[in-house]
Amino acid sequence: MLYLSQILFPTVGQEETYLHEIRRTCYDSFYPFQVLSRNGLARLDFEPVTILYGGNGSGKTTALNILAEKLGLKRDSLYNRSNFFEDYVKLCDCQYDRRPSGDSRIITSDDVFDFMLDLRGLNQGIDRRREELFEEYLDAKYSQFQLRSLEDYDQLRKVNLARRKSQSQFVRGALMNNVREHSNGESAFLYFTEKIKEDGLYLLDEPENSLSPERQQELVRFLEDSARFFRCQFVISTHSPFILSMRGAKIYDLDERPVDVKRWTELPNVRAYYTFFKKHETEF
C-alpha cells in the first residue's frame, strides 16, 4: 500500500535565500538546514518499503524527523529539534496517494528503550511492594489485634485474611503479576507489534537496536507481512543487513554524493559482512 509518494526538500537556493535573511542572528547552527542538501538529497520517492542507509551524520534520522513533523505523525519521545526546524519543514512538500490511518507514527530507538525501562521500573515497584506485603502478612497473622472501633475494621479484615490464607495467596491477592516475562529483545519486538496497526504509515529509526539477529529476521517477516497483507507503508533508517534485505525495498544510500538508489547487496556495510564470512567460510 502506498500512502506517501514523495517528499521534496528545500533546494540549495531556497536554503541560501532563507539563511541570508537570518545571518545577522547570534545562532551558530541552523540545523536541519544544510544537512540533507550537502549530500545532494533533494527528494525521496517512496515505495511500500523505503529504506534510508548511511553512516552516522549522513542525515537519515534527520530526514525521518522532518518527514514525521511534516506529516504530523504520532511520536512518544523528544528529538533533536532546533529553532529553525519548523521553518525548514514549511519549505518541504509532500505528495500523497491517499491518507494513512490515525495510528501512523514514527518509532525511534528512544521509544523502545523507554518502553523497556518502563517495564523494568514497573517490575521493580512490584518487587518492592511484594516485600512490603510479606511483612504485612507476618505482622497481621501473628498480631494480637483486638477490634476497638470502626476505625480498626480494615486492620481486622487484613488479620482475618492473613489467618485464612497462605503467604503466597495473601500476596498474589493484593499484587499484580510481574510483567518481566521477556528479555530486552523480546520486549523490543513486542513494542513494534503493539504499535504497528493495519492501514498505517510508519517511520522506523534503526529498529534493529536491542534485537538479536534472530529477532531482526523475525521483525523483517513481520514488517513484510504488514506491508503485503495489512496495507502498511514503511520508511526505515537502518544499518542492519537483515532489514536491508527486505523484499521489494527501495534503498537510498545517503553516503553517496549525490544520494543514490542501490541494491542491498551493493552497500558497503553488507559487503563488509559478506567479505568477513567468506574469509572464514571454511570454519563453518
Segments in the chain below pLDDT 70: 23-28, 116-185
Residue 83, pLDDT score: 84
Contacts for 276 with CB less than 8 Å, ≥ 6 apart: none
* Mean pLDDT value across the chain: 82
Q: Whole-prediction pTM value?
A: 0.77
Residue-range domains of the chain with CATH = 4-111+183-283 (3.40.50), 118-174 (no CATH)
Residue 136, pLDDT score: 59
Reported as a single tens digit per residue, the pLDDT across 134-171 is: 565 555 555 555 545 545 546 556 555 555 555 555 45
Residue 178, pLDDT score: 43
Residue 148, pLDDT score: 54
Reported as a single tens digit per residue, the pLDDT across 87-107 is: 999 999 999 898 888 889 999
Residue 160, pLDDT score: 55
Please give the single-letter amino acid code of residue 210.
S
